[in-house]
Amino acid sequence: MHDGRAKNITGAILWHSGETEVSKNEFKNISISEREDLLKFINSL
């Protein structure tokens, strides 16, 4: 997202690999409502 590759926050999270792989997988495995809540929080920052 910071370099324009990802069009949104979800894309930016899923784009990463390497040391962020655990966090990316946890993001993919949370419920839809938890994901929506997390994205609302991130957007509020």
Rounded Cα gap, residues 21 and 15, in angstroms: 10
The per-residue pLDDT for 27 is: 93
Confidence class for position 2, pLDDT limits 50, 70, 90: low
Could you read off the pLDDT of 11-43 as tens digits, one per residue? Answer: 888 887 788 888 989 999 999 999 999 999 999
pTM of the model: 0.71
The per-residue pLDDT for 39 is: 95
The per-residue pLDDT for 1 is: 56
Rounded Cα gap, residues 23 and 33, in angstroms: 17
Tokens 């655990």 belong to residue: 22
Contact of 36 with 7, CB cutoff 8 Å = no
